[in-house]
Amino acid sequence: MQKLEVINILKTTLNFSDHSIEKLKKFTNLVLKENQNHNLIAKSTENQIWHRHILDSAQLVKFINFKANSMADLGTGAGFPGLVIEIFNKNKAFHVKLYEKSPVKRRFLITVIKKLSLNAEVLGDVRDEVLESEIIICRAFKKLDQIIQVSREIAKKPHKLMILKGQNAQEEIKNSFQTKKYAYKLENSMTNKDSKIILMEISK
């Protein structure tokens, strides 16, 4: 799926504004430029950045309540999915927190936030920080059982967990629920017929 096709989906299916699309274009240019110096995304996915990274991240806007106070993105890397969601966000009171342990990636995220005038905060490793957002999202962060452990041990209040997963989503759920079961939903990914989005409610 090429750039123009993805942009059409972002606008017609996910309701991204023209203004947001322009910011996404600038964001992708910044990622690709920085990727020449540091490995932000896999080199093999550079020519598919709009499909593999932008659209994959953007599809989460369908499930997010932007009336919440804040959202945390664990292991955000180059800002996927957190910055893509912030670029979409129209509520100034909705605060995006990006957790990333790599100093190189944190510096990149801070640069992007300044250049694109985004309402996002960059923090370090989630285990060293306070986590009190109502929504927690992640993509390519850790296995599901580890994500649940992090969210249960560190998050300060009940929250929604939204996780982009590959074809092993169901297997990971089965392995993670051996000691305690959680209410969850599986949604199909827009970018890969085998991938899933896991939606969970975690109560303290």
Q: For residue 165, give the 3-state DSSP assignment.
A: strand
* Mean pLDDT, residues 113-118: 97
Q: Which pLDDT score, from 0 to 100, does residue 175 have?
A: 83
- Tens digits of residue pLDDT in 34-83: 999 999 999 999 999 999 999 999 999 999 999 999 999 999 999 999 99
Q: Are 132 and 155 in contact (CB under 8 A)?
A: yes
Q: For residue 168, give the 3-state DSSP assignment.
A: coil
Task: Give this prediction's pTM.
Answer: 0.94
Q: Which pLDDT score, from 0 to 100, does residue 173 have?
A: 87
pLDDT value at 156 more than 80: no
The answer for residues whose C-beta is within 8 angstroms of residue 94's C-beta and 6 or more apart is 66, 67, 68, 69, 70, 71, 119
The CATH architecture assigned to 3-202 reads 3-Layer(aba) Sandwich (3.40)
Domain ranges of the chain: 3-202
